[in-house]
Structure 1
Amino acid sequence: MVKRVLMVAFHFPPLRGSSGIQRTLKFAQYLPAQGWQPLVLSAHPRAYLNQGPDQLAEIPPEAIVRRAFAFDSGRHLSWRGRYLGFTAWPDRFVGWCLGAIPAGLSLVRQYRPQVLWSTHPIASAILIGLVLHKLTRLPWVLDFRDPMTDTDYPRDPRVRAIWRWIERKAVHNAALVVCNTPSAVVTYTTRYPELPRSRFTMLENGYDEENFRNAGAQAQPARAPGQPFTLVHSGIIYPSERDPVPLMRALGELKAAGAIDASQLHIVLRATAHDDYVDALLQEHDIRDLVSLAPHVPYQVALAEMLTADGLLVLQASNCNHQIPAKLYEYLRAGRPILALTDAVGDTAATLRAAGVDTIAPLDDSEGIKRGLLHFLQLARAGQAPLPAAAAVAGASRQARTVELARMLDSVLPQTQAVPAPAGSTEEA
């Protein structure tokens, strides 16, 4: 007898460029070893702006993948770059609901899963999970990669009200609400005191060891003597949540004072998703010789870059103190010195300190950044920068996280027995 879980996830290959892809993909990859067959309900690739075949081969043969009708309101319903706001409530992918709900019901009828799992973001994925739970009465595990709402998030009060309604309905109907940071658990237990504390639990993000082994084979030789120290930030730079302005100001002032120059330091900002905005800052502070914008590369190439960088850069604002960037766990596995520009009291800083890394400076303070950067460079050049502890790295693997997830799925299982798996597996477009 086999246990099956229906996984509702917008972020899934062939989508590229989102850290959320790795959470669902790796759970799907490792759940079969824990006795769970994944049925993945995702979106048609037309909804993805950035897509490619990079990780399609990592989808396990045991997985049943259904890609339901979906579109992006911002692209497919726009005229000259503008579209009606209500066509993107609760988000730009609300059209996915039209395809995903009937597709999910079809998967339930055909494969008889015992548990439903859905992951946020995207808000539509939670709405789909809610409807499927109501229609099938399957126990529902709700995965919040980030808290769905906050005091001023989403910024549009109308959208915030819609999201808060979905969130409230979801947490009241879910059998288990999974957060990925300690502060997120506190946020939700405080926000919904009428619900039992046991409904909320934590499952952090992680890294995949197999991906890192493969990336190691692609890694380039280390920096040659005499080359500038290379500091890499890999991933999106959000203008608010990872505001780069104080960093750019600090770099400009350090350069003007003669404390750093392009022969000593080279910062690579890989796949920022906001290159025009960041490039304007580089020009404003006259630091284009210090900082370069680099394009998106396949996932394992990005991991290979982490493995050979002289240092790795984290940006996380204080308005995200209850969040931890998913790439932080990949940084830990890469085993390179880490400079974290983040709030000292946030979960990102706490995770780094628990791993033995204390090279941390405030993201919103240019003076603090200058002191922290110079101190970090001094330690790294002397070979004295703190590196992540082996025990902290081992505990953050995707395999270890999947074992935890399987236990959670087991904990909400209904009394009915699973049905035998159908012969073979399919992927439908």
Structure 2
Amino acid sequence: MKVLLVSFYFPPAGGGGVQRPLKLAQYLPGLGIETHVLAPDDPQWIHRDEGLRVPTQAWVHRARYLGPGGRRPAEELHGKQGLARITTQARLFGRRALVPDENVPWSLTAIPAAIRLVRRHGIDVVITTSPPNSIHLVGAAVKRATGARWVADLRDSAVAHVHRRSESAAVRAKEKVDLGVAKLVARSADAIVCVADFIADEVRALGPRGAVATIPNGSDFDDFDGLDYTPGERLRITHTGSFFGKRDPRPFLQALHDAGVDATARFLGDFRSADREWARRLDLGEKLELIPYAPRATSLALQRDSEALLLLIPDAGGRGQGVLSGKVFEYLAARRPILAAVPPGGAAAELILAAGAGVVAAPDDVDGLREAIVELDRRFRSGGLPDVDLSDEWIDRVSRLSRVEETAELLRALA
């Protein structure tokens, strides 16, 4: 069996969005599936990670990237007033006018490249994995041109992204276009894979022609091999990942300030200028450490060598209830206690509590977060915070390889 995986995010791109397609390309060949990958040559991602290894058993093909480079519009607009702000907004307008997303121009080169690869290599199934949503235009076009089976892999909501500011008219307009893409996926894809049940429910409401399956992200336990935890002199709570949209560190930082314990919060990744200025007014001093983006190897080592890990998932008007981000599973693999500032009763909270991997407080509950910090510090001072002890059953349940095996089973059923 032969598959073509079309992914916008693939090494040397950095960031969390790379891991799901990368691990598919890594594990599928070992399960007897010849795997080809189509990715952009260089879309000027915001971050690059030259340390990520491209799987040697997969064939990686590149299509020329057309479109704007990676940018952070909110950061470019921050602090600008008057003419400077208007000029920046004008410069960003072309990017924001592209629908369903700014990466859609890549379809102009990706579609013909994918069609050639399917015909040349006798590809049985094409997998398109989003974000960005425009990637699914490639799958629909290839299916129509070649008759190959098409699997759409959805890692974010098809219609209402949790981190988007839905109160914005521009965002609501884009979400209408996203709904159009979701309807295209529903009526054309032979199967649809979703990382969370709430996304699968959204898709089923559109009356899809193909099967819909939930295959969550997975934990890469092997990635932490050889990384040690050495207890620090003070409680170190680490968050890895960038801040955008509705992800908000301020309630946690206020709770850290109010807790009055000897602790350090470490944030690795892009930290918004507005949040940095807000935190400065709290005068946290050595209690706050901001670390710029670093390669994944550095991120994993920092996670492992922490007393606790901070997980932030916004409620976003109820949208965050079903979110099970890749970060949840990465933290489980690190085996350090998790302070989960997530919607109580939501999917992430239920998974963390069921695994015995940490404590949960609502993302905007300053008092609840303060109490959690104080309790973590008490346990740390009174005997330490040992590694999270996951049973073999739990490890098998959440491991990345198990997820890829589920995907392989679905692919074989289509061929």
Relative distance call for 1:7 and 1:106 in structure 2 (3 A) is same
Deviation at 1:134, TM superposition (A): 1.8
- Specify which of 296, 301, 305 is matched with residue 299 of structure 1: 296
> Residue in 2 aligned with 1:199?
211
Greater mean alpha carbon deviation, residues 85-94 or residues 228-237: 85-94
Once residues 312 and 221 of structure 1 are traced to their aligned partners in structure 2, the CA distance between those partners, rounded to angstroms, is 13
> Residue in 2 aligned with 1:93?
103
Once residues 161 and 197 of structure 2 are traced to their aligned partners in structure 1, the CA distance between those partners, rounded to angstroms, is 18
Deviation at 1:300, TM superposition (A): 1.8
The 3-state SS of whatever aligns with 1:16 is: coil
Q: What aligned pairs does 1:223-372 form with structure 2 within 5 A after superposition? A: 223-224=231-232, 227-240=233-246, 242-254=247-259, 259-260=260-261, 264-271=262-269, 273-319=270-316, 320-372=320-372
The 3-state SS of whatever aligns with 2:174 is: helix
Relative distance call for 1:253 and 1:89 in structure 2 (3 A) is same
Q: Is the 1:356–1:386 contact (alpha carbons within 8 Å) kept by the matching residues of 2?
A: no
> Residue in 2 aligned with 1:387?
388
Letter in 2 for 1:361: A
Once residues 377 and 182 of structure 1 are traced to their aligned partners in structure 2, the CA distance between those partners, rounded to angstroms, is 35
Ranked by relative contact order (alpha carbons within 8 Å, sequence separation 6 or more), the top structure is: 1
The 3-state SS of whatever aligns with 2:43 is: helix
Once residues 316 and 326 of structure 1 are traced to their aligned partners in structure 2, the CA distance between those partners, rounded to angstroms, is 12
Once residues 129 and 373 of structure 1 are traced to their aligned partners in structure 2, the CA distance between those partners, rounded to angstroms, is 46
Letter in 2 for 1:37: E
- Specify which of 20, 23, 26 is matched with residue 20 of structure 2: 23
Once residues 245 and 208 of structure 2 are traced to their aligned partners in structure 1, the CA distance between those partners, rounded to angstroms, is 35
> In the TM superposition, what whole-angstrom CA distance separates every residue of 1:86-125 from its partner, at most 9, and x where no partner exists?
6522211111111101110110121011001111111121
> Residue in 2 aligned with 1:178?
193
When normalised by structure 2's length, the TM-score is 0.87
Q: Is the 1:312–1:339 contact (alpha carbons within 8 Å) kept by the matching residues of 2?
A: yes
> In the TM superposition, what whole-angstrom CA distance separates every residue of 1:199-250 from its partner, at most 9, and x where no partner exists?
211111113243222xx2xx466135xx21111111122340x211211222
Relative distance call for 1:384 and 1:365 in structure 2 (3 A) is same
Q: Is the 2:335–2:387 contact (alpha carbons within 8 Å) kept by the matching residues of 1?
A: no
Relative distance call for 1:186 and 1:59 in structure 2 (3 A) is same
Deviation at 1:85, TM superposition (A): 5.0
Relative distance call for 1:75 and 1:341 in structure 2 (3 A) is closer
Once residues 33 and 117 of structure 1 are traced to their aligned partners in structure 2, the CA distance between those partners, rounded to angstroms, is 18
Deviation at 1:253, TM superposition (A): 2.9
The 3-state SS of whatever aligns with 1:321 is: helix
Deviation at 1:385, TM superposition (A): 7.2
> In the TM superposition, what whole-angstrom CA distance separates every residue of 1:301-355 from its partner, at most 9, and x where no partner exists?
2112212211111111113222112121121111111111111111110111221
Identity of paired residues, percent? 26
Q: Is the 1:25–1:59 contact (alpha carbons within 8 Å) kept by the matching residues of 2?
A: yes
Query: Does residue 162 of the first structure (1) align with residue 177 of the second (2)?
Result: yes
Relative distance call for 1:239 and 1:286 in structure 2 (3 A) is farther
Relative distance call for 1:336 and 1:375 in structure 2 (3 A) is same
The 3-state SS of whatever aligns with 2:123 is: coil
- Specify which of 100, 105, 121 is matched with residue 115 of structure 2: 105
- Specify which of 56, 65, 89 is matched with residue 61 of structure 1: 56
> Residue in 2 aligned with 1:408?
410
Relative distance call for 1:359 and 1:53 in structure 2 (3 A) is same
The 3-state SS of whatever aligns with 2:152 is: strand
The 3-state SS of whatever aligns with 1:45 is: coil
> Residue in 2 aligned with 1:8?
6
Aligned length: 389
Q: CA RMSD in A?
A: 2.4
Relative distance call for 1:296 and 1:158 in structure 2 (3 A) is same
Once residues 353 and 134 of structure 2 are traced to their aligned partners in structure 1, the CA distance between those partners, rounded to angstroms, is 35
Relative distance call for 1:304 and 1:13 in structure 2 (3 A) is same
Letter in 2 for 1:59: V
Letter in 1 for 2:235: F
Q: Is the 1:14–1:51 contact (alpha carbons within 8 Å) kept by the matching residues of 2?
A: yes
Q: Is the 1:73–1:88 contact (alpha carbons within 8 Å) kept by the matching residues of 2?
A: no
Once residues 13 and 186 of structure 2 are traced to their aligned partners in structure 1, the CA distance between those partners, rounded to angstroms, is 28
When normalised by structure 1's length, the TM-score is 0.84
Relative distance call for 1:26 and 1:369 in structure 2 (3 A) is same
Deviation at 1:393, TM superposition (A): 2.6
Q: Is the 2:25–2:58 contact (alpha carbons within 8 Å) kept by the matching residues of 1?
A: yes
